[in-house]
Amino acid sequence: MKRVKTGVMKYGNIHKAVFRLRPNRFIAKCELEGEQVKAHVHNTGRCLELLVPGCTAYLEENLNSARKTNYTLISVKKFGSIVNIDSIAPNKAFHEAIEQGQIELSGLAQVLKPETRYSD
């Protein structure tokens, strides 16, 4: 399994693919080793400047049978740089950095909860 380290967060089982189409805000169709695959897109923004048909995309494979897709679109290549479009990544990286002591919040870390519902 290939591991890519981004800050404190790690992705696993990454595959290089070609982005083809985004039929809706949650799905990307990509070509992986000559086969068309569907990938989940965490980022519901348009990303029109990044998700250009034919661009290089990086997919994380996840063979969880409960999922509708076996891949998640993690990043794309733009102007020679890899751009992460995983909108869940910042929260995970921040949480891991706090847990590992790389960020100190003077006691607030004890009450820190990601994506917590507030009121109704």
CATH code at position 48:
2.40.50.580
Across the range 62-72, mean pLDDT stands at: 90
Structure token pair of residue 10: 């790690």
The answer to whether residue 103 sits within a structural domain is no
Domain of 20 in residue numbering reads as 3-86
Q: Look at residue 75 in the predicted model and tell me its pLDDT.
A: 95
Q: Say if residues 3 and 11 touch (Cβ distance below 8 Å).
A: yes
- Decide: pTM greater than 0.85: no
Which of 82, 75, 114, 93 is closest to 7 using CA atoms?
Answer: 93
Pairing of strands 56-61, 3-6: unpaired
Query: What is the tens place of the pLDDT at every residue in 27-64?
Result: 999 999 999 999 999 998 899 999 999 999 999 999 88
The answer to whether residue 112 sits within a structural domain is no
The answer to whether residue 97 sits within a structural domain is no
> How many structural domains compose the chain?
1
The answer to whether residue 93 sits within a structural domain is no
Percent of the chain with pLDDT over 90: 54
Q: Which CA distances in Å does 12 have to 5, 104, 109, 117?
A: 9, 27, 27, 29
With vertex at residue 8, the alpha carbon angle to CA 115 and CA 4, rounded to the nearest 5 degrees, is 110
